[in-house]
């Protein structure tokens, strides 16, 4: 891992992860369409496999069942390393049950990396749908430990805590629910140019709330996590304001006016019309984001009255093991926000009953689900 020199810290980042919405006005290279062959292999997989068998499969076994996906997955990972996002279109969810769609989603994720648990229920494939929770960014709503994916509220720009987040759309809302994404290296460059004082505070970072999902004996908040961390040729980011607000409340230490100003500056830049690339999900779309270079948000939505028509997505949190650039992140950036309580566990650890905080290194976590050479 090559750290940035003092001279490099004074320079803007020049990397493919730096982009604005206008860069894609006539460029849809971020869209990847499944072929008929690939859709057919997914349908054959879910028709002939049991959910437990698919969940327990190794990456090598899944590659033998979905051979046409192997080169596609390698291209997806290249896109995530560089640009930071891609939309995979054409998963035939209309020909699958909800359970089968989850199986297909897990299979694709398994080819990319290691799926991790996402909440106190140890969900590996997490439903993103309105569960009636009250979510917001005020002190009152933060105290409920609610998480945004369980609501239909507007979600401010944030990253999820793992290497990559994937969302599969099964059903759209009646209206609203539009996704938008922003390059965090582009925000970094703008802050370096126009708001260096606020940038310095963000690079120092903040503790994060664990939303009451920590194990007994674990701290209710994380260590300090930098919003930005500069590397020699790139910059990585962690940002989720509701978690920062929640941690300050639990610590009983108010954010200073300067810290509030720095967070407001970040949010204002993220909300600029020229920064955000907007996309509307269609059933069968999978959005994949590099959480270190892309933040995402969502507009509030109105849902259908009929339960079977309501907006429903599945989410995966993926760990990419020793693959760069993810492996180059420090412990705080990569794990403090993702591994505590029942969060951040893989299939092998769940099966072994390891429901407390895992003490193994990130490389050992990845190795547990790595493909066999035999």
User: For 303-339, what is each residue's pLDDT tens digit?
Assistant: 778 888 888 999 999 999 999 999 999 999 999 999 9
Q: Give me the pLDDT at residue 368, please.
A: 37
CB 175 within 8 A of CB 168: no
Q: Please state, in angstroms and rounded to a whole number, the distance separating the CA atoms of residues 119 and 338.
A: 10
Q: Give me the pLDDT at residue 269, please.
A: 98
Q: Please name each of the domains of the chain with its CATH number.
A: 6-368 (3.60.130.10)
- Give every residue of the chain whose pLDDT is below 70, as ranges: 1-3, 5-7, 131-154, 301, 354-374
Nearest one of 93, 107, 114, 99 to 169, comparing CA atoms: 93
Q: Give me the pLDDT at residue 360, please.
A: 33
Q: Give me the pLDDT at residue 152, please.
A: 65
CB 222 within 8 A of CB 250: no
Q: Please state, in angstroms and rounded to a whole number, the distance separating the CA atoms of residues 162 and 145.
A: 20
Q: Give me the pLDDT at residue 1, please.
A: 52
Q: Please state, in angstroms and rounded to a whole number, the distance separating the CA atoms of residues 163 and 290.
A: 6
Q: Give me the pLDDT at residue 355, please.
A: 40
Q: Give me the pLDDT at residue 373, please.
A: 32
* Burial track 69-84 (b if 16+ CB lie within 10 A, e otherwise): beebbeebbebbbebb
**Residue 3: φ, ψ to 5°:** -80, 160
Q: Please state, in angstroms and rounded to a whole number, the distance separating the CA atoms of residues 162 and 240.
A: 12
Q: Give me the pLDDT at residue 149, please.
A: 58
The per-residue pLDDT for range 51-88, each reduced to its tens digit, is 889 988 999 999 999 999 999 999 999 999 999 999 99
Q: How many helices (H) and strands (E) does the chain have?
A: 14, 15
| Residue 143 burial class via C-beta count within 10 angstroms: exposed 0-12, middle 13-18, buried 19 and up | exposed
The number of residues in the chain equals 374
CB 104 within 8 A of CB 71: no
Q: Give me the pLDDT at residue 316, please.
A: 98
CB 231 within 8 A of CB 81: no
Instruction: Return the axis-axis angle of helices 69-82 and 36-48, rounded to nearest 10°.
Output: 110
């Amino acid at each position: 891992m090559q750290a940035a020199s003092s001279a490099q810290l004074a320079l803007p980042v020049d990397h493919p992860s730096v982009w604005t919405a206008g860069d894609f006005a006539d460029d849809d290279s971020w869209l990847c369409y499944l072929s008929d062959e690939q859709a057919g292999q997914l349908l054959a997989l879910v028709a002939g496999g049991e959910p437990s068998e698919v969940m327990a499969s190794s990456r090598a076994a899944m590659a033998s069942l979905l051979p046409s996906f192997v080169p596609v997955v390698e291209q997806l990972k290249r896109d995530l390393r560089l640009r930071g996002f891609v939309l995979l279109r054409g998963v035939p969810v209309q020909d699958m049950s909800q359970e089968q769609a989850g199986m297909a989603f897990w299979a694709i994720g398994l080819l990319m990396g290691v799926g991790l648990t996402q909440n106190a229920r140890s969900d590996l494939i997490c439903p993103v749908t309105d569960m009636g929770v009250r979510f917001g960014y005020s002190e009152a709503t933060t105290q409920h430990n609610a998480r945004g994916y369980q609501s239909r509220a507007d979600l401010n720009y944030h990253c999820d805590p793992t290497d990559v987040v994937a969302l599969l759309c099964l059903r759209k809302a009646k209206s609203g629910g539009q996704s938008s994404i922003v390059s965090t290296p582009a925000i970094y460059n703008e802050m370096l140019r126009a708001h260096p004082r606020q940038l310095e505070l963000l690079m120092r970072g903040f503790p994060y709330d664990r939303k009451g999902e920590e194990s007994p004996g674990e701290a209710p908040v994380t260590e300090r996590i930098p919003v930005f961390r500069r590397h020699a040729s790139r910059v990585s980011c962690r940002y989720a304001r509701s978690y920062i607000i929640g941690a300050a409340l639990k610590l009983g230490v108010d954010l200073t006016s300067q810290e509030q100003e720095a967070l407001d500056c970040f949010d204002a830049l993220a909300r600029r019309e020229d920064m955000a690339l907007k996309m509307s999900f269609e059933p069968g779309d999978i959005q994949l984001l590099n959480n270190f270079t892309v933040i995402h948000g969502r507009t509030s939505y109105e849902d259908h009255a009929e339960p079977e028509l309501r907006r429903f997505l599945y989410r995966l949190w993926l760990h990419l093991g020793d693959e760069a650039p993810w492996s180059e992140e420090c412990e705080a950036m990569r794990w403090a926000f993702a591994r505590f309580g029942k969060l951040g566990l893989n299939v092998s650890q769940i099966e072994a009953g390891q429901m407390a905080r895992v003490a193994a290194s990130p490389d050992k976590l990845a190795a547990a689900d790595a493909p066999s050479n035999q």
